[in-house]
Structure 1
Amino acid sequence: MDQTDLQHEAKTSIFRSLWGKPNKTASLDLIHLFGDCIRAASSRTKDYLLFRDPESKFHPNPSTLCEIFLMTYIQRSSQLNLTNIFNCTAMTPEQRVLLGAQWVWAVLDYPTKNPRIQIAVQVFHLLPERMEENFEELSLDTYSEIMRMAGMEVVNGTQAERMVDFCSSIGRDCYALFLFFGRENDEGNIYGLLSNNLQAAVGKCVRLDRSFIDHFFKGAKCFVTPSGMLRALVGKEGDDPLTMLVKFT
Structure 2
Amino acid sequence: MTSLFAFYKLSFIVAAFSAAGLTQIGKHFFSRGNILEIFLLSQLAMLGNLVAKLYFHDQYSGFLCSYTLFAAGKYALYKLEIKNDKKNNFMVGGYLVLTSLQYLLISYFPQLDSHMSIGFFGNMVTASGFENILAISAFFLFGILYKLMAKSINKRTFEISVLGRTKDSLIELFLFTIPLITSLYVLGFLYTMSFLMLPALVLGSSFKSEKKATLTLLPTAIIAALLGLAASIIFERISTTPIQIIILTLLLYVIKTILSKRK
Q: Same fold (TM over 0.5)?
A: no
TM bin (shorter chain):
0.3 to 0.5
Q: Which has the higher contact order (CA 8 A, sep 6+)?
A: 2
More helix by share: 2
TM-score normalized with structure 2 length: 0.31
TM-score normalised by L of structure 1: 0.32
